[in-house]
Amino acid sequence: MTTDHYAVVGHPIGHSQSPRIHGLFAEQTGEAIQYVAIEAPLDDFAGTVRDFFDRGGRGLNVTVPFKEAAWRLADEHTDRAEAAGAVNTLYRNERGRLVGDNTDGEGLVRDLTCNEDTEISGQRVLILGAGGAVRGVLLPLLQAGPAEIMIANRTAEKATGLAHQFSDLGPVSGGGYDTLHEEFDLIINGTSASLAGDLPPVSPDVLTETTVTYDMMYGPDRTAFSRWALDHGVKRTMDGLGMLVEQAAESFRIWRGVRPDTAPVIAALRNHR
- Stretch binding ligand ATR (CB under 6 A), from 15-23, 153-161, 168-176, 262-270: 153-161
Task: List Cα–Cα distances, 149 to 106, 129, 178, in angstroms.
Answer: 17, 12, 16
- Read off the amino acid at residue 125: V
The single residue among 22, 77, 110, 158 that binds ligand ATR, judged by CB under 6 A, is 158
Evaluate the omega torsion of the peptide bond into residue 12 and state whether it is cis, within 30 degrees of 0.
yes
Q: Is the Cβ–Cβ distance between 176 and 156 less than 8 Å? A: yes
Q: Is the Cβ–Cβ distance between 115 and 246 less than 8 Å? A: yes
Active site residue 235: no
User: Would you give the binding string for ligand ATR spanning residues 178-197, x where CB under 6 A is met?
Assistant: -------------xxx--x-
Q: Residue 219, interface with ligand ATR (CB under 6 A)?
A: no
- Stretch binding ligand ATR (CB under 6 A), from 88-96, 108-116, 126-134, 222-230: 126-134
Q: Residue 226, interface with ligand ATR (CB under 6 A)?
A: no
Q: Is 18 known to sit in a ligand binding site?
A: yes
Contacts of 171 (CB under 8 A, 6+ apart): 146, 147, 148, 149
The single residue among 69, 133, 139, 244 that binds ligand ATR, judged by CB under 6 A, is 133
* Position with the least CB separation from ligand ATR: 131
Identify the three-state secondary structure at position 245: helix
Whats the size of the chain, residue-wise? 273
Residues facing 34 on adjacent strands: 5
Nearer to ligand ATR, 23 or 85 (CB): 85
Q: Is 218 known to sit in a ligand binding site?
A: yes
* 97, burial (CB in 10 Å: exposed 0-12, middle 13-18, buried 19+): exposed
* From 22, 25, 60, 67, the catalytic residue: 67
Phi-psi category of residue 85: left, alpha or beta, with phi > 0 → left and psi -120 to 50 → alpha: left
Other Cβ atoms within 10 Å of 232 Cβ, number: 14
Q: Residue 171, interface with ligand ATR (CB under 6 A)?
A: no
What is the rounded distance in angstroms from the CA atom of residue 89 to the CA atom of residue 112? 21
Nearer to ligand ATR, 1 or 196 (CB): 196
Nearer to ligand ATR, 59 or 129 (CB): 129
- Read off the amino acid at residue 245: V
The single residue among 3, 93, 155, 203 that binds ligand ATR, judged by CB under 6 A, is 155
- Read off the amino acid at residue 74: A
- Stretch binding ligand ATR (CB under 6 A), from 9-17, 106-114, 131-139, 179-187: 131-139
Q: Which residues are annotated as a binding site for shikimate?
A: 16-18, 63, 88, 104, 218, 247
Q: Which residues are annotated as a binding site?
A: 16-18, 63, 79, 88, 104, 129-133, 153-158, 216, 218, 240, 247
**Contacting positions for ligand ATR (CB under 6 A):** 129-133, 153-155, 158, 191-193, 196, 198, 200
Q: Which residues are annotated as a binding site for NADP(+)?
A: 79, 129-133, 153-158, 216, 240
Give the residue numbers annotated as catalytic, written as ranges.
67
